[in-house]
Amino acid sequence: MTILHELLNHITDRDATIRKRSAYILGTVDEVAALEVLYQAYGTEVDPDTKQAIQWAGKRLKAIQATGYSTLDALIAHYRLLEPADSATDSAEQQVIDDYKLRAHMNTLNSEKRSAVGKTALSMALLPPIFSAGRFLAGGFTGAEIGSKLDALDGNASDPLIRSITPPRPTHESIAPVIQRLRAATEPQRRLDLVLDLAQIYNNPEALPHLAALFVRDDDERVRETAQRTAKLIYWNSLYWNMRDDGSLEQEMARRAAVRPSGDSQPPESQSQPTSSHEPQQDIAEILRKAEEARERRKRGK
């Protein structure tokens, strides 16, 4: 079962809190595929707060749907799944990648290295397979080459190394300490930093209701925007792996490859661009990167 199906099932859960939470998550991640279920649920919902949440999500998603947006198109564009794939990772390289991820995770326990490791982990997660952690650790690229490749990718430069991206698998690491600090944070910048931690370090779908709550209720625009982008990134990661594991992603990519015109490697632009009024036309990873750089500059200025 995919994360989408779970959320749709929760819309009809006996617990009103679960129904309300799912409606807010679906609206936050721009999941237009939920519209029909939300329409049906709105007509039968008896809890006022949940009905309000369903109405909010329905109005938002209807406007987004009108632009031609779909989650699947956006996911395929974000991970460049219609780009040529690089050679398959062998078992030895995969072990190196897994070891790298484990070391990166363990290093986050050191608070003095937390920001640096988080930034590195996010950057590596978004790199194409040809620029994988295995080659990075094995010395396949020099430090200068790594820096130049990161600069090229960040600048959206045309680059022959750009290939489809394999996102990190969602984790089940407890986010309770971060959520506790998030609830206690009175300064917008502190909340923004904690949201970035959820994106860069934890990648846990359990963060979605908390990120949706920030998107709906936080009084700071930067926090709202970053919370939504973080929620969409975690949601896309989860959906990608759900579909990859059950085989539906491979089937969908084969279907699209069979019908797309020659030389067309991406979904129509109107369907792959962000559509929310809260979302400027920038990549999710780019927003997170810029926010992280701003945080580092503030730390150096202290």
Predicted confidence (pLDDT) per residue in 184-214, tens digit = 999 999 999 999 999 888 899 999 999 999 9
The neighbour count for residue 285, using CB atoms within 10 Å, is 19
Same domain, 129 and 180: no
Same domain, 9 and 100: no
In a domain, 43, yes or no: yes
pLDDT at position 84 over 80: no
| Percent of the chain surpassing pLDDT 70 | 60
Same domain, 192 and 142: no
More confident residue, 173 or 294: 173
pLDDT at position 123 over 70: no
Same domain, 23 and 60: yes
CA 78 vs. chain centroid, Å, equals: 9
Tell me the pLDDT band of 155, cut-offs 50, 70 and 90: very low
Same domain, 217 and 292: yes
Question: Per the structure block, which two tokens stand in for 155?
Answer: 């600048």
In a domain, 25, yes or no: yes
Same domain, 217 and 150: no
Q: For 8-39, how does the pLDDT look when each residue is reduced to its tens digit (9 = 90+)?
A: 999 999 999 999 999 999 999 999 999 999 99
Same domain, 293 and 181: yes
Q: In 3D, which of 204, 265, 269, 261 has the Cα closest to residue 238?
A: 204
In a domain, 71, yes or no: no
How many structural domains does the chain have?
3
Checking 295-302 for CB contacts under 8 A at 24+ apart, the result is: 295/115, 295/189, 295/192, 295/193, 295/196, 296/115, 296/119, 298/189, 299/115
Same domain, 147 and 44: no
More confident residue, 105 or 67: 67
Same domain, 188 and 297: yes
* Residue 108 belongs to domain spanning: 91-154
Q: What is the pLDDT of residue 257?
A: 86
Q: What is the pLDDT of residue 201?
A: 85
More confident residue, 9 or 133: 9
| Percent of the chain surpassing pLDDT 90 | 52
In a domain, 21, yes or no: yes
Q: What is the pLDDT of residue 125?
A: 41
More confident residue, 225 or 119: 225
CA 234 vs. chain centroid, Å, equals: 4
In a domain, 251, yes or no: no
239 vs 30: CA distance, rounded Å: 13
251 vs 301: CA distance, rounded Å: 51
pLDDT at position 143 over 60: no
Same domain, 139 and 181: no
More confident residue, 249 or 150: 249
Cβ(149)–Cβ(131) under 8 Å?
yes
In a domain, 168, yes or no: no
The neighbour count for residue 298, using CB atoms within 10 Å, is 11
Q: What is the mean pLDDT of the chain?
A: 75
pLDDT at position 104 over 60: no
CA 262 vs. chain centroid, Å, equals: 29
Same domain, 147 and 209: no
Q: What is the pLDDT of residue 115?
A: 46
Instruction: Give the CATH number of the domain where residue 11 resides.
Output: 1.25.10.10
136 vs 94: CA distance, rounded Å: 12
In a domain, 40, yes or no: yes
13 vs 284: CA distance, rounded Å: 31
Tell me the pLDDT band of 6, cut-offs 50, 70 and 90: very high
Q: For 215-236, how does the pLDDT look when each residue is reduced to its tens digit (9 = 90+)?
A: 999 999 999 999 999 999 999 9
Same domain, 98 and 210: no
The neighbour count for residue 119, using CB atoms within 10 Å, is 18
Question: Per the structure block, which two tokens stand in for 95?
Answer: 């072990």
131 vs 247: CA distance, rounded Å: 25
Q: What is the pLDDT of residue 44?
A: 95
Rg of the chain's alpha carbons, rounded to an integer? 20
In a domain, 261, yes or no: no
